[in-house]
Amino acid sequence: MSGAGQPAAYVRNENLDLLRGWQKSAYAEYFLVARRDFLLVATPGAGKTAWALTVAARLLALREVAAVTVVTPTEHLKYQWARAAAGFGIAIDPSYRNAQGRAGADFQGVAVTYAQVAAHPALHRQRTENRRTLVIFDEVHHAGDALSWGDAIREAFEPARRRLALTGTPFRTDANPIPFVTYVPEADGVQRSASDFVYGYGPALADGVVRPVIFLAYSGEMHWRTRAGDEVIATLGTPMTKDQVAQAWRTALDPAGEWIQRVLEAADRRLTEVRRAMPDAAGLVIAGDHETARAYAAVLRRVSGSRPVVVLSDDPAASRKISAFAGSGDRWMVAVRMVSEGVDVPRLAVGVYATSVSTPLFFAQAIGRFVRARRRGETASVFLPSVPVLLGFAAELETERDHVLRIAGRDPEGELAEALRSRDTPDFEVEGRSFEALAASATFDRVLYDGGEFAAPAGAGSLEEEDYLGLPGLLEPEQVAVLLRKRQSQQLTARSAATAAARAGDRGAEPPAGAGVAGHSPAAATVSREGLAALRKELNGLVSAWSQRTGQPHGVIHAELRNACGGPAIPQASAGQIRARIAMIRQWAVARRLSASPPAARAAPRLAGRGGRGGRAGRGGLGDRGRRAGRNGRGDRVGGGDCVGGGAEERAGAEVAAVGGDPLHPRVEGGQGQHQVELVGGDVRLQLGEGR
């Protein structure tokens, strides 16, 4: 083969001077040894397309191949590849249809989708056999989405003279082999894909090829009703069951709730700051379905004062809209989740992950829309819910994984095809309307960058939040880390000072002389991130033990501790507040018997019967929005505070006592019988022990 076996240094190609360093190395690797198949793994935004077209142009010039076929996952990407190929002097037809048979004589190749090939593999095999063909598989992991697709791709392009496989995201783990990818057996019995060249996010960040990504996570209190009619309130990010996490997550994404509106407001403020250094910077909201995409667009129009571009999967003008947005100065685009891989808009610098998709492959693809650097110093900011699985993905952004073939069993990461498919209705309707979102508040939780966590949790709209939203839009990766650490240290110092001053005021005493602004010594003015994490871990462990002992959900126990001790949710609580809750739950645990109480303390807690939905309660009633309580008999929710709002109410005339001397399982006796109840907000306990 002419030139194919020579080192790249001896192959003249005018396009080489335009390549980045890693692209030149990959080009040299490709032509070092003649090979039919080549797998390139490069992080999104690194320039896989330019590399592949440089190789294609050289192979055409050498007459090693006479035609090029590009296979893409979406229709939009076909046109994107055709435009890029034109810059290399290669005419690609993106409008080719299976019904045509032969491609037009004016083109050197065609662009087709994986689904298009699967629909008629024999046709594409005949085209490949008729001419010496180079086949470029864009995002080749899609060839393994289904076994039938893999078989069709193999049948259609087995006769190809050369094949280039490209991917920019971690391979998933499943049982569907990707055609034309080499697998190497390992000691544990699995087969792992072998890449010919890898250029990950870490090296790309160090080279300035991609932007550093700053993740801003938001928590908050979620309130929803289950299919059984129970109302649940929980804090996003606290320990919950898998189903509760999913329901809290979808409650946060409810367009009518406060959470998504606060997050979109914060994202727009961040975009304004970024545009000071990048005047054409834009934002993208990745929505889960068509209905919420339109609703989010309405919120953004109200927040930003301009109409966002909405791209829906069933819109025939979707590709044109994306291209027009890429070259415009518009601030925002809202797209359903299935187009995340097809959006190539280098000016995207701010994102909102507003979908409940939780596969690592989709997350990596989505974040890849924001990392394309045009010049050094550009940063990307992505807003997301404070959900453990997403925070884990964000922390592992630099992890590189190969495709692992499992012998049997379902894909543990879920089907990407399901994640990418069009959604015309909200997720909870697709899943059988298993819950109803009632309310969702938002609090700024933390910042994640380069595997580390920063920030002191604060309320949405607070000065602490503004400190991070106002980070400069142009920063080197090292500068990002330094600035984040500085902001965190300043906030923790200020917060400790304010807490100490408040405590001194409560005691009616002045801070000790020489103790500093907060009345603390400098050594006690701040709490390290590790120390705060250890306190949270200790509290969560105690809550888990209490849950096993009482049967109460974790979220309810956390809510009781908040009502008893005061302060915000655990992600926003200070070290002192967490210590107070630890002391409180230990008091509950060591109490062996309820103390005797005066007659006034025996007044029964108010019970909201099932005849209607209990209204909002005062302190110690149903919490703020109706916390769950155990249900046995007629009464199903306990109030026990100052007042309980509308709905069916009854005063049972019951007497509260510990059954069998066990203070962990109090019952309401008398009236309609015995009712297992939960101690909401600690007020029932206080009535029994303190005569309130």
Q: Is the pLDDT reported for residue 411 higher than 50?
A: no
**Which of 408-412, 447-451, 501-505 holds the top average pLDDT?**
447-451
668 contacts 631 by C-beta, under 8 angstroms: no
pLDDT at position 297 is: 96
pLDDT at position 322 is: 87
Q: Is the pLDDT reported for residue 36 higher than 90?
A: yes
Q: How confident is the model at residue 339 (pLDDT cuts 50, 70, 90)?
A: low
What is the number of alpha carbons within 13 Å of residue 71 lying toward its C-beta?
31
pLDDT at position 25 is: 94
Structure tokens at 427: 């997720």
Bridge partner residues of 657 (DSSP)? 667
Q: Which residue has the higher pLDDT, 590 or 404?
A: 590
Bridge partner residues of 199 (DSSP)? 42
Q: Is the pLDDT reported for residue 51 higher than 90?
A: yes
Q: Is the pLDDT reported for residue 655 higher than 50?
A: no
pLDDT at position 321 is: 87
Structure tokens at 438: 């009632």
Residue with token string 């002191």: 456
Cα gap 486→379, rounded to integer Å: 18
SS3 content of the chain, % helix, strand, coil (to 5): 40, 20, 40
Cα dihedral 71/75/81/83 (nearest 10): 150
Q: Is the pLDDT reported for residue 412 higher than 50?
A: no
pLDDT at position 151 is: 87
Q: Which residue has the higher pLDDT, 339 or 516?
A: 339
Q: Is the pLDDT reported for residue 677 higher than 80?
A: no
pLDDT at position 218 is: 94
Furthest CA-CA distance within the chain: 101
Cα gap 668→651, rounded to integer Å: 12
Q: Which of the residue ranges 47-56, 231-240, 253-262, 337-346 would you say has the lowest mean pLDDT? A: 337-346
Name which of 496, 448, 450, 497 is nearest 468 in CA terms. Answer: 448
The CATH number of domain 8-199, selected from 2.60.40.10, 1.10.3720.10, 3.40.50.300, 3.90.1170.50: 3.40.50.300
Tell me which CATH code domain 213-475 carries: 3.40.50.300
pLDDT at position 144 is: 64
pLDDT in tens, 452-472: 777 666 777 777 777 778 777
pLDDT at position 408 is: 42
Question: 85: part of which helix (H) or strand (E)?
Answer: helix 75-86
Cβ neighbours, 10 Å, residue 229: 11
pLDDT at position 40 is: 93
Cα gap 205→367, rounded to integer Å: 14
Cα gap 678→600, rounded to integer Å: 21
**Which of 54-58, 241-245, 558-562, 635-639 holds the top average pLDDT?**
54-58
654-675: average pLDDT? 33
31 contacts 6 by C-beta, under 8 angstroms: yes
Q: Is the pLDDT reported for residue 34 higher than 80?
A: yes
Residue 668: φ, ψ to 5° = -95, 115
8-state DSSP, 92: E
Q: Is the pLDDT reported for residue 274 higher than 80?
A: yes
Cα gap 67→108, rounded to integer Å: 5
**DSSP code per residue over 314-367:** T-TTHHHHHHHHHTS---EEEEEGGGGGG---TTEEEEEEES----HHHHHHHH
pLDDT at position 139 is: 86
Q: Residue 660, class by beta-carbon neighbours within 10 Å (0-12 exposed, 13-18 middle, 19+ buried)?
A: exposed
Tell me the pTM: 0.61
In 23-178, the DSSP E strands lie at 37-42, 67-72, 92-93, 109-113, 133-137, 162-167, 173-174
* Mean pLDDT for the chain overall: 73
464 contacts 589 by C-beta, under 8 angstroms: no
111-115: average pLDDT? 93
pLDDT at position 193 is: 76
Q: How confident is the model at residue 7 (pLDDT cuts 50, 70, 90)?
A: very low
pLDDT at position 612 is: 38
| Helices assigned H by DSSP within 158-233 | 201-206
- Find all residues with CB under 8 Å of 289, minimum gap 6, and list them: 336, 423, 424, 425, 426, 427
Q: How confident is the model at residue 85 (pLDDT cuts 50, 70, 90)?
A: very high
Cα gap 14→22, rounded to integer Å: 17
Q: Is the pLDDT reported for residue 679 higher than 50?
A: no
Helices (H) and strands (E) in the chain, counts: 21, 29
pLDDT at position 522 is: 38
Domain 213-475 in the same topology as domain 8-199 = yes
Q: Domain residue spans in the chain? A: 8-199, 213-475, 478-524, 529-590, 599-690
pLDDT in tens, 137-182: 998 887 765 667 888 999 999 999 999 999 876 555 555 678 888 8
Cα gap 240→413, rounded to integer Å: 20
pLDDT at position 330 is: 94
Cα gap 456→448, rounded to integer Å: 12
Q: Is the pLDDT reported for residue 692 higher than 90?
A: no
pLDDT at position 464 is: 73
End-to-end CA distance of the chain: 93
